Amino acid sequence: HLLPLARELNGILHAHPFDASPAQRIGAALIDAHCTDPDALSSTLGVVDSYLVLYCGGNGPGPLSTEDGRARCARIQHTLAAGFTGALRERTLTEQEAIARSALTARSHAEEALHATEARFRAVFKDAAIGIGIADLDGNILEINDTLTRMFGGLEHHVRSHRVNEWVHPEDSPQVWKYYDELVRGEREHYRVEKAYYRNDGTVLWTNLTVSLLRDSEGRPEYQLALMEDTTERRLLNLRLRYEATHDALTGLPNRTLFFERLEKALTAQDGVRFGLCYLDLDGFKAINDSLGHAAGDRLL
């Protein structure tokens, strides 16, 4: 690639009349050959200065005096350097423009993707069948969806006026707040528990609660995202079925199933503990039922 350029330099040196401007194209050709390092220019100028006149001074149609050859060589060097720096500047500007366009395109695509992601999240957030809430790490509730508002009685300000750690219920498991503290400290990514809340009217809301930690771009904890499934009716139904399975339908008294459960619990509670068991019967109870009716017998029991 460099040999044709050397021949052109020889031609420029011996041209009549002398014109150094074509050397500018040779400087630009070095940039086209990806010789963009500053050392490439200094090495080229050094070679031209040391060897162009020495080896090519007598190759032209007429001999060049040493003084004339050195003068021409100096002008060739200056013009070549100007062509090199001009082409390098042009290439740098072109690359910068390409980078800027790419950056703008990437930013535009990123903004479009972010907008699409935000739109999808908003659609899920608004229309989800479960309650969704977002809070900061201090427990301040920042945003809740309509489902969560309805779960708590339809009063958004009632929910948002409380901090997360104020929603304490007597039946909370000790693990609930242990997990919560670990999450806001960044030691836990998520947890799932059964949690009860008091509504504004004093009734109890039971939920399956899943809380996840949201981090910023540098991995630092930033927000907490809560997903709540209302399990109140399911829990009440289970309690009702449990009650019916362990109590007599007529009297409402504990039946044998509950008796044996409690007896087994007492037997296995602590090793080495003695306890007494009394078995009581009512003599002549049949006479009460036969004479006064089963309603009176149920009341007596």
Please give the pLDDT value at position 212: 92
The order of strands in the sheet holding 190-198 is 141-144, 131-136, 221-230, 204-215, 190-198
* Dihedral pair phi/psi, residue 209, rounded to 5°: -110, 125
For the chain, 301 residues long, give each residue's pLDDT as a single digit of tens: 777 777 777 777 777 787 888 888 888 888 888 887 767 878 888 777 776 766 665 565 566 666 777 788 888 888 888 888 888 888 888 877 877 787 777 777 777 777 777 777 777 777 778 888 889 999 898 888 888 888 888 777 777 778 888 888 888 888 888 999 999 999 999 999 999 988 888 888 999 999 999 998 888 999 999 898 988 888 888 888 888 888 887 778 888 888 888 888 888 767 777 778 888 888 888 888 889 988 888 888 7
| Burial grade of 48 (CB within 10 A; 0-12, 13-18, 19 or more) | buried
- Spans of all domains in the chain: 2-103, 128-236, 247-300
Question: Residue 59 has what pLDDT?
Answer: 60
What is the pTM for the complete model shown? 0.52
Q: Which superfamily does 128-236 belong to?
A: PAS domain (3.30.450.20)
Per-residue model confidence (pLDDT) at position 64: 66
Contact 149, 156 (CB under 8 A): yes
Distance between CA atoms of residues 207 and 193, nearest Å: 8
